[in-house]
């Protein structure tokens, strides 16, 4: 099935119609998207700044990472759901927007990285047993990928 036809179907769907017809509902969706971005960014920054020994140095990094990851999961779910709603209303515009695709690629990489690499590694054993440089690189890569997701997401609106 061609990607373009999926986007055409999305825009013509009930979800797309609601977003296009009711500006207020669309705006609420955007606000929820922003609020979940805030929680996601907070979870990422709390975890990664702890892993880099910048904040909460007297709190075990295992505790910080475990607790923040729970909120990260909720935030990712909300962001994806509200993102689909927002994209549906302007699906064809998104299809032709380079920043949309940049965001989708970086979002996919970010989600795969956190759920398949970062969190499994950090949950596998005490952090003191992990090479500190591995932890620092994980934290830097995580901050980089989520910053890219947020920035490209905002630039969708400018292009």
Where does this chain bind another protein (CB under 8 A)?
23, 27-28, 30-31, 34-35, 37-46, 49, 54-56, 58-59, 63-64, 67-68, 70-71, 102, 106, 109, 113, 117-118, 120-121, 124, 130-131, 134, 137-138, 140-141, 144-145, 147-148, 150-151, 154-155, 158
Distance of CA 147 to the CA centre of its chain: 9
Q: Closest distance between another protein and the C-beta of residue 141, in Å?
A: 4
Q: Which of 90, 89, 91, 110 is nearest to 152 (CA)?
A: 110
State how far the Cα of 94 lies from the Cα of 14, in Å rounded to an integer: 18
Q: Which of 144, 142, 150 is nearest to 121 (CA)?
A: 142
SS3 state at 148? helix
Q: Closest distance between another protein and the C-beta of residue 2, in Å?
A: 26
Select 7 or 26, whichever has its Cβ closest to another protein: 26
């Amino acid at each position: 099935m061609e990607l373009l036809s999926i986007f055409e179907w999305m825009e013509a769907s009930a979800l797309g119609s609601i977003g296009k017809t009711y500006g207020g509902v669309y705006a609420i969706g955007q606000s929820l998207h922003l609020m979940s971005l805030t929680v996601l960014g907070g979870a990422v920054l709390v975890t990664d700044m702890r892993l880099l020994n910048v904040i909460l140095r007297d709190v075990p990094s295992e505790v910080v990472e475990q607790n923040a990851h729970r909120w990260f999961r909720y935030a990712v779910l909300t962001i994806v759901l509200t993102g689909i709603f927002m994209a549906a209303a302007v699906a064809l515009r998104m299809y032709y927007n380079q920043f949309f695709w940049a965001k989708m690629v970086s979002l996919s990489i970010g989600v795969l990285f956190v759920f398949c690499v970062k969190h499994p590694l950090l949950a596998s054993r005490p952090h003191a047993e992990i090479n500190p440089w591995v932890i620092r690189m994980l934290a830097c890569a995580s901050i980089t990928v989520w910053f890219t997701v947020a920035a490209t997401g905002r630039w969708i609106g400018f292009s």
